[in-house]
Structure 1
Amino acid sequence: MIAMASPDHDMLLAYAQAQAAIERIEERRRLSPVRHPWRTRCLIVERQALARIDGQALDDLDIEVGARGAVSTSPFDLSAARDSIGTAISLGALVQDGPALLRWLGQDPHPPTGGRTIGDQLMAIERWQRDARALPPSPPLLHGADLARLWRHHAPLGRSDLVASLLIGDRWGPGRWDGSAGGMTAMGLERSHAPWLLAEGDELSLLWLKAIAAGARVQLDLEMRLRGYAKRAMGHVAGRRRPGKLKDVLLLAMARPRLTSRQVTAALGLTSAGAIKLLTIASDLGLLIEQSGQASYRSYAIPVSLSYSPLPSPTQPQDWHEDEFWSSDGKNETSPEPL
């Protein structure tokens, strides 16, 4: 007879896989030749996943990427996570400081008429904190699932509590490391066909761990796709006698859903004509595709699908030559917060 795996074995395996995926991301954050545009792309897909769960689809046109890779959104972004994603909050403040938690969640200090007052929200948060303190000790990735479940039970905000619960649970778990800005678990849950909102106990814990691993795999898949594109682009740039700032333009494009001549001009200090010339060269080489279909005010994107479909049979990366080509600074050193 074939022995069936025990529930404890399934849980331990799921925890190990989630932890390993997070640690793999930390390794790639240090070693990947495309680590800078990849980090920006991860911030974007995490925002988009949380926005979809909140019922507020985030269009590429609403995404803004700063000079140092910081991601923000336009005033048309109405999603609940717009102020929280990528914003720091300590673990202590998360479970002990109600006002700090509300600020982190971007709550209006003067809510609209008919909504919960700040006082009502703080009282509900105190009840959530009381129940959270009564939870049995558990590893951080599992404890985050319980914190999120309790938040949905108390619903302190009165609106967008689903997204808030995912942000809180993710911050307590994957957010301790350098892999998640708040939406890794949301990306995994979004892909799950299981009724995770109705799950409790071990069922919820297992679904949560699998979601963390799935969200991490989405990020690792993005890195592989960007690295494949960068390797192809490197050959084109290195083969040109006078590449100018073509490499810099491609780095900008790798970090953005869309790239315009105005963005290139602002980021690289080029004239408008110079920016348009480089974008045209990249397009002629097949390294960028024109998306707007317009004669002017054109926008470009790299010809790489950055959707959620996984790549088959990932291989171990061979980075050293690409790293020298695409990066000009040292490695990004990171370390997890204490457990």
Structure 2
Amino acid sequence: MALTLYYFPASFFSQRAFLALEEKGVPYQRQIISIHSGESIEPWYMRIQPNGTVPTLKHGKIIKTDSKFIIKYLDEITPDAPKLCPDPSTPGGDRVVYLSELMQKIVIEQITYGSACHRHHTHDCKMPKMMNLKESTSMWDRIDNDIRTLAAKYPDLREHYMAKLKTHKDRELTSEQGLIDSLKACDPIMGEIEKELEQKWNGKLDNFTDSDPWLCCNHFTIADIYLATLLHRLYFAGQVKRFWGDGKRPYLAAYYARVQQRKSFQTACAKATTLRNALLPRYVHQMRRAFPRLLGYSVVAVAIGFAVYVQYSGFPSWWPNKN
């Protein structure tokens, strides 16, 4: 029974699930859902994931819709593999739970969209320039309008569409003050993780081997998935200097350098946040939606052109019946 991950490459929470799948090494399929062009609110996907969000993991009739639950489910179906979510009673297991929950408090969506829209709060932001305040506001307005249209068109999904619309109204992801508050709240969390790494690594900042521990345990866990994706998103959002650049937090800097060498991270995170993967799914989906209309226009244009040709030049010699 095949596993299918519905995801968007540049989505922070998608990267968590993607990284977990790569760590487990289980066979699975991936299907990109372009959240910025509204594919996540299309009826076929809303019937799989009523919240209209990514990631979603489908395994036969079983559907998991939150990156945390997806990761835990992967542990369930791979009982012989090292646990991404070790028992809290095992060595390091309690720290995995504590630090994972601590990182969950960071409002990463606010930092992502806020950094894109208010770049004077960033340093060397890697996000596309088109992700500015005007474009982001226009995108959310367009998606909200699409939600209202779909809610009226599909009564069986109306309740889910209206709930989705409410989550958009409840979040001011492009707010400058929201960004400032989220960055401020993130700082002590990063400080606590720095102390954890300092205690775990005891002065070691480079030349790591496979036997060296990660954040909490000797093997990669959900806490490492959370930290790896968090650091990569902060890098992408131009927040390195604020949190660990210029020697501010050397252990965080060393951790990020180390995890970038990990094959699973390169596949799930490093490649996913390239400009191509951040923007291409949006345009592919828009072209796919527009194709029937474009095809219709093309047929009409050819027909009109042929009619004009016949009007002035008569039927071509190869035409089978000129009467």
Where is the helix percentage greater, Structure 1 or Structure 2? 2
Normalized against structure 2, the TM-score is what?
0.30
